[in-house]
Amino acid sequence: MTTARLLADLAEVVGPAHVLTDPAVTSAYCTDWTGRWRGVAQAVVRPADTAQTAEVVRRCAAAGVAICPQGGNTGLVGGGVPPADGRPTIVLSMTRLTGVDDVDVAARAVGVGAGVTIGDVQRAAVAAGLDFGVDLASRDSATVGGAIATNAGGIHFVRYGGMRAQLLGIEAVLTSGEVLRRWRPLRKDNVGYDLPGLLAGSEGTLAVITGALLRLVPQTRRGAVAVVAVQDPARGLAVIDAVERAGLTLHAAELMTEAGLDLVHRHGQRRALPAGTPFAVLIEVAGADAGDLAAVLAEASVDDAAIDDSPAADLWALRERHTESIARDSTTPVVKLDLTLPAGALGAFVATVERLAAAAGVRPIMFGHLADGNVHVNLLDVDPAHAEDVTDAVLREVAAVGGSISAEHGVGRAKAPWLGLGRDAVDVAAMRAIKRALDPAGLLNPGVLGL
């Protein structure tokens, strides 16, 4: 089948207005958020529902055309954009699947389409007197399907876990065009393999996620936020330990460095701590107020702190404005490395990255989810010709101290060459066997995850 004939067939399924071929339009779908990863697609196809998605997948599979499922395209590792190797590929944009069912308050659950944003899930939950356990800075553009595909974590992981932990059920299209649907709002359903859990983190390589049944949580009625000055990450972990031992419920714990704080201040955010603070930890607790948190921090003998009752938007802005400030400040596409380190290795790792960056002539800005050991390493002003070299140096350091090369953003295309640093040969072989079983022709997101 010619490409022209396939696109005409797909237009019959989704409507001509939803088969995009103009390069001026499709280029945005073929470039990831960082600007580092660009691919080529014959078209961007936008189905309206699961039935249309299944028919698109069926026809592409019959034609041997690869499929790149895409949500809000907010990914940072090239996993949501097509390959650049010239293989016939369509981008399957799921952004029209925006249905939100009525919230089941008794079951604390809601069914949503894959194109619904995290922010819209939060708003639906809050309107029903509940909340959603995952929160991201990109909440109003990141979609549920993409967040599941990467098993996104976010700022409340320490309390609720990542997207995999929110899944009560899933709907997905297999490469055969068949629809897999597990859709029961049960906390315990132990019948066979955990297929929803398998698809979470699969980065679009096993099936096309079209919907999810999500767990909701009670709203937090009281809370407090503090930005605490500390000398090193170990001291930050000690402060977190003191907060938890005092009986406060830890809702978030974010690490920031002096370089990152200086950057967001230069881009307009007011200071909360004195200049020269080596590290800062943003702590949010639930079920307590600013006075309760202040009393615990006083007992912990912190160096300095700014404290407010939740939502404390000004304090949270110090953390959430990191990403946009970094993007605006770098002269080249930022090299973004999302990593997990053992708690005891954090301080030494930060120092090592600063040394590696200085040797390479680039600027490092690091921040992350301290309680989870998740550090986001951002390298600014990197010569694109040397991006792989600096990436290799950092990832090998992570592996040397027993960390993970991907904490919550996925492997995508960016880290596929280093898959062996995170999984041994037996592990990779098992993943490839699963890939072959569910996608025998290798049509779904080829090249992503290195599988």
Mean pLDDT score, 380-409:
96
Q: Where in the chain is the domain with CATH 3.30.43.10?
A: 3-96
Tell which CATH classification among 3.30.70.2740, 3.20.20.70, 3.30.70.580, 1.10.540.10 matches the domain 330-409.
3.30.70.2740
140/114 Cα distance (integer angstroms): 14
What dotted CATH number matches 223-321?
A: 3.30.70.2190
User: Taking CA 387 as the corner, what is the angle to CA 383 and CA 388, rounded to the nearest 5 degrees?
Assistant: 150
Please, is 170 exposed, middle or buried when counting C-beta atoms within 10 Å of its C-beta (0-12, 13-18, 19+)?
buried
pLDDT by residue (tens digit) across 282-292? 999 999 999 99
Q: Which residues of 35-74 are buried (b: 16+ CB within 10 A; e: fewer)?
A: ebbebbbbbbbbbbebebbbbbbbbbbebebbbbbbbbbb
Res 77 pLDDT > 90:
yes
**Chain-centre distance of CA 335, in angstroms?**
16
pLDDT by residue (tens digit) across 303-328? 899 999 999 999 999 999 999 999 99
Helix (H) or strand (E) run with residue 131 in it? strand 130-131
Mean pLDDT score, 250-274:
96
Band of the pLDDT at 419, cuts 50, 70, 90?
very high
pLDDT by residue (tens digit) across 201-233? 999 999 999 999 999 999 988 999 999 999 999
Helix (H) or strand (E) run with residue 420 in it? helix 419-422
Res 139 pLDDT > 80:
yes
The tokens for 404 are 């993970």
Q: Where in the chain is the domain with CATH 3.30.70.2740?
A: 330-409
The tokens for 5 are 């004939």
218/125 Cα distance (integer angstroms): 9
Helix (H) or strand (E) run with residue 257 in it? strand 249-257
Give yes or no for a contact between 46 and 422, defined as CB atoms under 8 angstroms apart. Answer: no
Mean pLDDT score, 84-93:
95
3-96: CATH topology is 3.30.43
109-218: CATH topology is 3.30.465
117/72 Cα distance (integer angstroms): 8
Smallest Cα–Cα separation from 304: which of 227, 223, 246?
Answer: 227
pLDDT by residue (tens digit) across 333-343? 999 999 999 99
State residue 1's pLDDT score: 64
Torsion of Cα atoms, 305 then 309 then 312 then 315, to 10°: 0
246/301 Cα distance (integer angstroms): 14
State residue 35's pLDDT score: 86
Q: What is the pTM of this model?
A: 0.94
pLDDT by residue (tens digit) across 153-192? 999 999 999 999 999 999 999 999 999 999 999 999 999 9
